[in-house]
């Protein structure tokens, strides 16, 4: 295809892309430095917290010593012994946490001898003197960490100013290049017929790219599935044929490999389905939603023979929908309700419908694990999960797929939930 792009425009585009790439690299490097500084600051605050725990433990030990001297009760002696043991453990933790700081190592190495002197001191006045020495030593540790926090904060601030200055400078250069490009494009505008021809060619090219992308997706998925099957198969062979030569940990690790290989296979399938969905044409027909949901629920509940599930379905009527796509919505929402209520003695799941003017609304409600509403905006993102995989299996694609299907029907979806009390997912469809 003949290119009508002026060389100056092409050069401007290359410069713009280079600048945008530079902005990306600059942002990434600043993000890394900010992350590192945040981690170090968090580490320093943890050390300070450990110092305060040592102080607190010293107070408890001193109170127990005084309690024993007043009452003579043996329980105070045990409390002192336990406190000293915990105190030594805390000091050891401090030493481990600051092993990369030679100054702190020197400060902390003095603590065991000071603590020993305090423990062996029998008089109140003597203990007070020793406590003061320990407190001064702890103050040195704390001041060093506070100094580190201040230094790192200042470095982050300086880095931020440098980042902003460079970012603004690159943005201004980019704007200047873009303005030059606009002027060049405007001065080299072709006739309407050429523009329309380009548009037709671009449409054909886009269609071809989409077809190539789909073919590429299938090819990649096939290439990925082959090694996954090999991993799964060979791991299974090891378990079945060489179990006697493996210890329990080896067998456990192989089972983890098999589980993750299967999960990756499912993830590949989900991502392919997610990518294909945007290219599918809607085929709306009047569908009996009652029958569709009843069939899906029966299929899903049939797999849960060892559980007590109270499934309730309100009248759902009919709707003009793409029944194939909407089937996936119901499978995911009802399947999630079943999955996230697995820890209940009796799972309660309800599906219902309510109509408003110009809208059809459905909901799926359960009494399962629920979720924190503070993270509700993450529910429908790809790979966004609010529960760990060892609690509830999943790939993090299902709800993103549901959202896309609902939006293809010109609807919207949202959710309400509470941790430990279940969740309700609502979605609306516009009536044609």
Q: What is the 3-state secondary structure (H, E, C) of 59-106?
A: HHHHHHHHHHHHHCCHHHHHHHHHHHHHHHHHHHHHHHHCCCCHHHHH
Residue 312 class from Cβ within 10 Å (0-12 exposed, 13-18 middle, 19+ buried)?
A: exposed
Range 285-430: architecture per CATH: 2-Layer Sandwich (3.30)
Residue 108 class from Cβ within 10 Å (0-12 exposed, 13-18 middle, 19+ buried)?
A: buried
Is CATH 1.10.3470 the right assignment for the domain spanning 14-161?
A: no
Is CATH 1.10.12 the right assignment for the domain spanning 192-277?
A: no
Domain with CATH 3.30.565.10 in the chain: 285-430
Residue 233 has which token pair?
């198969």
pLDDT tens digit sequence for 195-242 = 678 878 877 776 666 565 565 555 655 566 667 777 777 777 877 777
Q: What is the pLDDT of residue 1?
A: 45
The DSSP-derived string for 343-378 is: TSSEEEEEEEEEEETTEEEEEEEE-SS---GGGGGG
Domain with CATH 1.10.287 in the chain: 192-277
Q: What is the pLDDT of residue 291?
A: 92
The DSSP-derived string for 28-66 is: HHHHHHHHHHHHHHHHHHHHHHHHHHHHHHHHHHHHHHH
Q: What is the pLDDT of residue 432?
A: 61
Domain with CATH 1.20.120 in the chain: 14-161
The residue assigned the tokens 């797929």 is 401
The residue assigned the tokens 């609306």 is 428
User: Which CA distances in Å does 124 have to 69, 323, 350?
Assistant: 10, 83, 69
Q: What is the pLDDT of residue 219?
A: 61
* 3-state DSSP percent of the chain in helix, strand and coil, to 5: 70, 10, 20
pLDDT tens digit sequence for 347-375 = 899 999 888 777 888 999 998 888 888 87
Distance CA 253, CA 263 (A): 15
Residue numbers in the chain where pLDDT is lower than 70:
1-6, 8-9, 30, 182, 184-193, 195, 206-226, 261-282, 381-397, 431-432
Q: Could you tell me the pTM of the whole model? A: 0.41
């Amino acid at each position: 295809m003949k290119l009508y792009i002026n060389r100056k425009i092409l050069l401007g585009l290359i410069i713009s892309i280079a600048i945008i790439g530079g902005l990306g690299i600059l942002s990434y490097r600043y993000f890394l430095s900010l992350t590192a500084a945040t981690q170090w600051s968090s580490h320093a605050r943890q050390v300070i917290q450990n110092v305060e725990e040592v102080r607190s433990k010293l107070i408890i030990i001193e109170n127990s010593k005084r309690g024993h001297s007043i009452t003579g009760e043996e329980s105070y002696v045990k409390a002192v012994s336990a406190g000293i043991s915990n105190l030594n453990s805390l000091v050891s933790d401090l030493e481990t946490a600051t092993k990369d700081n030679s100054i702190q190592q020197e400060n902390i190495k003095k603590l065991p001898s000071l603590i020993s002197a305090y423990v062996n001191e029998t008089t109140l006045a003597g203990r007070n003197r020793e406590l003061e020495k320990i407190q001064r030593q702890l103050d040195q540790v704390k001041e060093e960490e506070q100094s580190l926090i201040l230094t790192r904060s200042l470095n982050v601030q300086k880095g931020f100013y440098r980042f902003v200055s460079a970012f603004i400078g690159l943005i201004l250069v980019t704007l200047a290049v873009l303005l030059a490009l606009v002027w060049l494009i405007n001065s080299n505008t072709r006739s309407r017929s050429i523009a329309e021809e380009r548009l037709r060619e671009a449409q054909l090219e886009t269609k071809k790219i989409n077809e190539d992308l789909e073919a590429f997706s299938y090819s990649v998925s096939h290439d990925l599935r082959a090694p996954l099957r090999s991993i799964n198969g060979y791991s299974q062979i090891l378990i079945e044929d060489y179990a006697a030569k493996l210890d329990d940990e080896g067998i456990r690790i192989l089972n983890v490999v098999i589980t993750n290989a299967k999960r990756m296979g499912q993830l590949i399938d989900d991502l392919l389905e997610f990518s294909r969905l945007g290219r599918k044409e809607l085929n709306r027909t009047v569908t009996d939603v009652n029958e569709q949901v009843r069939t899906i629920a029966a299929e899903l509940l049939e797999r849960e023979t060892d559980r007590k599930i109270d499934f309730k379905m309100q009248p759902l009527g009919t709707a003009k929908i793409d029944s194939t796509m909407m089937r996936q919505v119901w499978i995911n929402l009802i399947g999630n309700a079943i999955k996230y209520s697995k820890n209940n003695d009796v799972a309660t799941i309800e599906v219902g419908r309510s109509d408003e003017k110009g809208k059809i609304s459905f909901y799926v409600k359960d009494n399962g694990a629920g979720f924190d509403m503070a993270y509700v905006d993450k529910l429908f993102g790809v790979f966004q999960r609010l529960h760990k995989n060892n609690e509830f299996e999943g790939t993090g694609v299902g709800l993103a797929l549901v959202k896309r299907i609902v939006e293809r029907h010109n609807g919207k979806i949202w959710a309400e939930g509470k941790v430990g009390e279940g969740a309700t997912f609502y979605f609306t469809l516009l009536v044609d």
